Amino acid sequence: MFQPFIVKASFVTGIASGALYGILAIALVMSFRMSRVVAFVHGGIALSSAFLYWYLVANPARTSGHGTNLAYATKEWPKLPAVILAILLGAGLGILFASVATGRMSKWPRITVTTFALGGMLLFAGITQEIWPGAFEIVPSPFGKGRVSIWGANVSHHQIAVVSILVFLVIVLHLLVTKTKVGVQIRAISDDVEAAEIVGVPVRRVSMGVWCLTGAMAGLGGILLAPMTRLGASVVLFVLIRSLAGAVLGGFNSLPLALLGSMLFGQVEAHVTGGTFGKISSGWREVILMAVLFTGIFIVTRRRRSQFRLTEA
Amino acid sequence: MLEVSELSAGYGRLQVLFDINFGVRAGEMLAIIGPNGAGKSTLLKSLIGVVTPTKGRIIFEGSRITHEPPNMRVARGLTLSPEGRRIFSSLSVHENLLSGAVRTSSSVIETQLEKIYSLFPVLAEREKQEAGSLSGGEQQMLAIGRALISAPKLLLIDEPSMGLAPLVVAELYDALLKLTSEGIGVVVVDERVTEVTRISDRTCIVEKGRIVYEGEHSEALEQLRDTAFLGTL
Amino acid sequence: MSKLTVANITGLRFPEKITGQDRRHFLGGALVVLVAISVVPLFVADYWIFLSTAGFITAITVMGLAIIIGWAGQVTLAGAALLGTSVYITGYLMREGLAGSGGWPFIPALIIGALCPAVLSALIAVPTARFSGIYVMVLTMGLQVTLERTLFTYTWITGGVGADVRINRPKIFGFEFNTDHRYFYLSFSVMVIAAFVMYALRNSRHGRAIQLVRTDRQAAAAVGISPWLYRVVAFGIGGLFIGLAGAMTAPLYESPPALTQYILFQSLFLLAIPVVAGTQSITGLIVVSLTFQILPPALQSHRLSVYLLGGIGLVAGTLVGPRGIVGTTLDFLQQQRDVKSLERASANENDLGEEATDESKKASSNITPSKPATESAKVRKDE
Ligand SMILES: Nc1ncnc2c1ncn2[C@@H]1O[C@H](COP(=O)(O)OP(=O)(O)OP(=O)(O)O)[C@@H](O)[C@H]1O
Ligand SMILES: [Mg+2]
């Protein structure tokens, strides 16, 4: 039953999808550390950026409405400006959200602000669907269609790029957070907002900056996600919930643990889907992932109960 | 250097401070004492800007700062070491100190670091250690050091002696006196009435959000005996 | 309708006993609604009848959500999945029954169908009861996605979307609710009963206990109320309401409804309703449910999609604050009335002398958004 070929292939797929979840998970953890809010809104941002990217680069002959009066005149731009625009859109939406969440709502109960984040997600998704009511679009990868063979597994350029981008992001963020003055301020805010304000950290400005960055990362995540499946609202949600699970496994607080969680989810999913353990239906895959998530939450809240009360809303 | 007039402030609908008037001169140490819940911490917080005043004026070195955000006030040379220390426990000692230096040039940071480390040598030894693992006294020194990194002209300190042994308190007070001798103004809120009024130049007594007394320390003690609000004298 | 809103079944403001003027207001309001509900359907197109029926059923769902959000202070993202569970299970039982028994009658199918989500909802609350709200959100989101990917994909349960799969409108005690009009009245009655049950529950000992747990866990624990148990109970009751709504939905379309009605985004859409309405006024919940159900089709020419409406609702509702848009508006109206009555009182001041002045002063210091209960009582007496 354990065929080396399948295991290898699943392992590689798992790394690529784990890396994708990781990018969003980092965005979620960083936003959480800034504002104590689960940034559901990143799901909406990823969706908007993905659709914008699709609209800018896709071949109009291959869109879902092709040949009907619903056809979209997609643009077939070169990839790079489209990627940049879509990331900028993500950054802008991140700032838009943060201007409320760190302004008017900065001292509100975090469950309310998190509900607001849900609203942001639904709103961005709604607007995107208004503009492009399509579903399951085929999206070309910014890195072409090429494939190479690694360890006997057939790997696409896109997958390699996703992993490389994650590694790059992790290194840059690590340097930013540990080695710069801004990094100290970011960590000071996530440690104790009021104290950070007292010692003169421009809390609002730094938080907005971080939300801008995480919004851009969510946008990037959306762009990278789209070519890996077909683009539709539910697909993005699926990735979001896996990233959330990864972030939860890190207690929303630790970047390395969140990455580990995302990778774990990527692996479990890839092996279950890929057939390492024989044929398992997609329903059972969901149940297994849910069980992992559940256990994760349980461990995390156990571990941290001693540190502070999680029950404050 | 600091002038406060008719200052009122509170939290939401709860008003805590009523028409506060007082001033601080350069190189002077002002002690603020009063019973629990009188509004001492609220007063310091509204001076640094995390509590917004509903009325009144705060003038620092000739400029009106009543509605400036805290980071602007810190840049002007007004800093606070808050109640309960509030050091960043997951950051190292060095990073804690740096967190207070948002708009400070690196040359000033260098000289101030030297000064802080000579004032509290133990911080130099613990430079790379996580701040959460420091002892209470060391944490308080760190909190004061963090407030000193931007080379302030006026330092506000809330309850530095809370939960500390007498010897450590004496060391802290010595450090504060050293600061005033360099021309830095110090406002200290403390519950150790006798000790703090002994080292301060002047004393304010706050009760129920109002300044009920202001003057020299010996008179302050007299006054205290009359009101006897602490019952410890 | 509006009379009913302000004066009567607006949740916590309800006076201890319905007496005198209040009773007349209440009965008056009820009469207005009854007349409206029996006359209006005669004049509008069947399509609107159908939509209103769906609106009533949505209102029951939303009551369940309001119990979880408002009483237990938790946000559940599994609303649509719980609803769908009940829809498909009830539908299955009505079509096939169990173990080849043939299709069940409506009532037993409804009972089982409504219990399933209640149990699921309570179960998910068991381990989460000690977690922070954000983990509850993540977990319920997980439940939602899991149900979407498991139960909803088994076409032998859901029935698929084939045109040949029929679910007949129910027959209760020999009476067939086989037209849209009849089902409209049935749904309306069920909704009214649900509203009264919710109202009674809230003022019951257990209802109070649930709310105490939300506002102050320590205090609740101190008086012997188990925060854990009551959170589970709140989730269970909420799930039961949602389940009831699902069971009512099952025969509504006369065939299995599409999966897309029960996906995660739909949960968010449903969540928007109590957020907009605030969780205190049951009337508010009903009115907003009807509005949210009817608005998207009514504004279809302006392309107002369900997601967009839900998104706007959630964003605007949270921006306004914990009382929701309806609650905030009511507070505002109440304040206006208070101010007016104060003006009237001060106009009468001269005639009435000292006593009136004191009274009005007391009243003016009392005007707060959070407790207009005594105020409204006073105003009504003044009139
Ligand atoms: N964040 C806050 N929100 C609401 N009320 C507050 C807040 N902080 C303080 N208060 C209230 O303001 C009043 C004054 O508090 P404050 O902390 O200024 O007193 P204090 O003089 O510093 O007392 P202590 O000696 O105990 O430190 C108290 O009644 C307190 O309950
Ligand atoms: Mg204090």
Domain boundaries along the sequence of chain C: 14-301, 332-382
**Residues C201-221: pLDDT tens digits?**
888 888 888 878 777 777 777
Alpha helices in chain C (DSSP H): 2-3, 20-39, 46-66, 79-95, 106-128, 133-149, 155-158, 180-203, 205-215, 217-222, 227-249, 264-277, 282-298, 306-320, 324-352, 354-366, 373-382
Ligand 2 center to B190 CA (angstroms): 9
Q: Enumerate long-range contacts of B54-57, CB under 8 Å, 24 or more apart.
A: B54/B8, B54/B9, B54/B10, B54/B15, B55/B6, B55/B7, B55/B8, B55/B19, B56/B4, B56/B5, B56/B6, B56/B7, B56/B8, B56/B9, B56/B19, B56/B20, B57/B3, B57/B4, B57/B5, B57/B6, B57/B7
Closest ligand 1 atom to B43 CA: 18
Residue partners of C29: CB distance under 8 A and separation at least 6: C1, C3, C4, C7, C8
Q: What is the mean pLDDT of residues A26-40?
A: 92
Q: Which ligand is nearest to the CA of B14?
A: 1
User: Which residue in the block uniquely carries the two structure tokens 């029929």?
Assistant: C166
Q: Alpha-carbon distance B97 to B113, whole Å?
A: 8
Q: Which ligand is nearest to the CA of B34?
A: 1
pLDDT at position B225 = 58
Whether A307 has its CB under 8 Å from any CB of chain C: the answer is no
**Residues A269-280: pLDDT tens digits?**
888 887 777 777
Task: Name which of A36, A123, A235, A301 to mutate to probe chain C: the one with the most chain C Cβ atoms within 10 A of its Cβ.
Answer: A123
CA dihedral C251→C252→C256→C257, nearest 10 degrees, is -150
* Chain A, nearest residue to B72 by Cα: A200
Report ipTM for this prediction.
0.90
User: DSSP for B199-219?
Assistant: H-SEEEEEETTEEEEEE-HHH
Q: Which of C286, C245, C275, C234 is nearest to C10 (CA)?
A: C286
Question: Do B182 and B111 meet the contact criterion of CB atoms below 8 Å apart?
Answer: no
Q: At what angle do helices A4-35 and A255-274 cross, to 10 degrees?
A: 150
Q: Alpha-carbon distance C183 to C177, whole Å?
A: 5
- Give the distance from residue B71's alpha carbon to the nearest chain A alpha carbon, in angstroms: 4
* Chain C, nearest residue to A292 by Cα: C142
Q: What is the mean pLDDT of residues B65-75?
A: 94
**Residues A282-312: pLDDT tens digits?**
778 778 878 888 887 777 777 655 444 333 3
Residue A283 in 3-state DSSP? Answer: helix
For chain B, what is the radius of gyration of the CA atoms? 17
Q: Name the percent of chain A lying above pLDDT 90.
A: 49
Task: Name which of C65, C123, C141, C218 to mutate to probe chain A: the one with the most chain A Cβ atoms within 10 A of its Cβ.
Answer: C141
Question: Do B158 and B82 meet the contact criterion of CB atoms below 8 Å apart?
Answer: yes
Which of A104, A245, A313 lies at the smallest CB-CB distance from C133?
A313
Which of A112, A293, A297 lies at the smallest CB-CB distance from C318?
A112
- Give the distance from residue A191's alpha carbon to the nearest chain C alpha carbon, in angstroms: 18
Task: Name which of B76, B102, B106, B139 to mutate to probe chain A: the one with the most chain A Cβ atoms within 10 A of its Cβ.
Answer: B102
Per-domain residue ranges of chain A = 4-244
User: DSSP for C197-264?
Assistant: HHHHHHHSHHHHHHHHHHH-HHHHHHTT--HHHHHHHHHHHHHHHHHHHHHHHTTTSSSPPPGGGGSH
Q: Which helix (H) or strand (E) holds A294?
A: helix A282-305
Question: Do A217 and A45 meet the contact criterion of CB atoms below 8 Å apart?
Answer: no
**Residues B1-46: pLDDT tens digits?**
899 999 999 998 899 999 999 999 999 999 999 889 999 999 999 9
Residues 64-123 (A) with a CB less than 8 A from some CB of C? 100, 104-105, 110-116, 118-123
- Residue B187 included in any domain: yes
Q: Alpha-carbon distance A86 to A93, whole Å?
A: 11
Residue B58 in 3-state DSSP? Answer: strand
The structure tokens listed for A299 are: 């461990």
pTM: 0.86
Least confident residue range of A147-156, B93-102, C239-248, C356-365: C356-365
pLDDT at position C380 = 34
State the pairing for strand pair B154-158/B78-81: parallel
- Give the distance from residue A179's alpha carbon to the nearest chain B alpha carbon, in angstroms: 10
- When pLDDT is cut at 50, 70 and 90, the band that residue A60 belongs to is confident
How high is the mean pLDDT of chain C? 78
The domain tally of chain B equals: 1
Q: Whose CA is nearest to atom 2 of ligand 1?
A: B11
Question: Do A93 and A45 meet the contact criterion of CB atoms below 8 Å apart?
Answer: yes
Question: Do A8 and A151 meet the contact criterion of CB atoms below 8 Å apart?
Answer: yes
Q: Alpha-carbon distance C359 to C345, whole Å?
A: 9
Which of A112, A126, A248 lies at the smallest CB-CB distance from C305?
A126
Angle at A118 between CA A104 and CA A49, to 5 degrees: 100
| C318 with A127: Cβ contact below 8 A | no
Q: What is the mean pLDDT of residues C77-90?
A: 95
- pLDDT higher than 70, residue A34: yes
pLDDT at position B127 = 92
Q: Which of B7, B14, B162, B207 to mutate to test the pocket of ligand 1 (most atoms within 8 A of CB)?
A: B14
User: Ligand 1 — pocket residues by CB below 6 A?
Assistant: B 11, 14, 16, 34, 36-42, 83
Closest ligand 1 atom to B206 CA: 21
Residue C166 CA: distances (Å) to CA of A244, C96, C140, C142, C156: 39, 11, 31, 31, 13
**Chains A, B: CB pairs < 8 Å:** 66
Residue C158 CA: distances (Å) to CA of A81, C30, C76, C90, C118: 45, 38, 23, 10, 19
Query: Which chain B residues contact residue A181 at CB under 8 A?
Result: 98, 101-102
Burial status of residue C236 (CB atoms within 10 A of its CB: 0-12, 13-18, 19 or more): buried
pLDDT at position B212 = 87
| C314 with A298: Cβ contact below 8 A | no
Q: Alpha-carbon distance A136 to A226, whole Å?
A: 10
User: Which residue in the block uniquely carries the two structure tokens 């068991």?
Assistant: C126
pLDDT at position A168 = 96
Least confident residue range of B125-129, B155-159, C112-116, C154-158: C154-158
- pLDDT higher than 70, residue A209: yes
Give the rounded distance of the alpha carbon of C97 from its chain centre.
30
**Residues C304-355: pLDDT tens digits?**
788 889 999 999 988 887 667 777 777 777 777 777 877 777 766 554 444 4
Residue partners of C237: CB distance under 8 A and separation at least 6: C64, C67, C118, C201
- Residue B42 included in any domain: yes
Residues 183-242 (A) with a CB less than 8 A from some CB of C? 233-234, 237-238, 241
CATH of C14-301 among 3.30.310, 3.90.1200, 1.10.3470, 2.40.50: 1.10.3470
CATH value at residue B8: 3.40.50.300
Burial status of residue A248 (CB atoms within 10 A of its CB: 0-12, 13-18, 19 or more): buried
The structure tokens listed for C141 are: 């989101």
Query: Which chain A residues contact residue C311 at CB under 8 A?
Result: 119-127
The structure tokens listed for C248 are: 């009512």
Task: Name which of A102, A198, A203 to mutate to probe chain B: the one with the most chain B Cβ atoms within 10 A of its Cβ.
Answer: A198
- pLDDT higher than 70, residue B162: yes
Alpha helices in chain B (DSSP H): 40-48, 70-76, 93-99, 106-119, 121-125, 136-148, 166-181, 193-199, 217-227
Whether A176 has its CB under 8 Å from any CB of chain B: the answer is no
| B70 with A200: Cβ contact below 8 A | yes
Least confident residue range of A196-200, A308-312, B99-103: A308-312
Q: Which of B20, B42, B205 to mutate to test the pocket of ligand 1 (most atoms within 8 A of CB)?
A: B42
Q: Alpha-carbon distance B45 to B32, whole Å?
A: 13
Residue C297, CB-side half-sphere exposure with 13 Å CA sphere: 12
| C319 with A116: Cβ contact below 8 A | yes
In which domain, by residue range, is B31 found?
2-84+153-232
* Chain A, nearest residue to C266 by Cα: A122
User: Which residue in the block uniquely carries the two structure tokens 């009854």?
Assistant: C34
Residue type, A124: F
Ligand 2 center to C286 CA (angstroms): 48
Q: Which helix (H) or strand (E) holds A112?
A: helix A110-131
Q: Which of C346, C270, C352, C369 is nearest to C311 (CA)?
A: C270
Ligand 2 center to B221 CA (angstroms): 20
pLDDT at position C3 = 40
- Residue B181 included in any domain: yes
Residue A222 CA: distances (Å) to CA of A54, A72, A86: 10, 20, 9
Residue C184 in 3-state DSSP? Answer: helix
Question: Do B131 and B91 meet the contact criterion of CB atoms below 8 Å apart?
Answer: yes
Q: Which of B42, B48, B36, B45 is nearest to B18 (CA)?
A: B42
Closest ligand 1 atom to B83 CA: 27
User: Which residue in the block uniquely carries the two structure tokens 């629990």?
Assistant: B36
Q: What is the mean pLDDT of residues A134-155?
A: 83
Which of A185, A191, A197 lies at the smallest CB-CB distance from B50?
A197
The structure tokens listed for A279 are: 């044929």
Ligand 1 center to B11 CA (angstroms): 9
Burial status of residue A66 (CB atoms within 10 A of its CB: 0-12, 13-18, 19 or more): middle
Q: Alpha-carbon distance A118 to A128, whole Å?
A: 15
- Residue B226 included in any domain: yes
Q: What is the mean pLDDT of residues C34-60?
A: 84
pLDDT at position C369 = 36
Whether B11 has its CB under 8 Å from any CB of chain A: the answer is no
Residue C114 CA: distances (Å) to CA of C193, C237, C247, C312: 15, 10, 6, 30
Q: Is A67 left (phi over 0), alpha (psi -120 to 50) or beta?
A: left
Q: Alpha-carbon distance A75 to A29, whole Å?
A: 35
DSSP state at residue B127: T
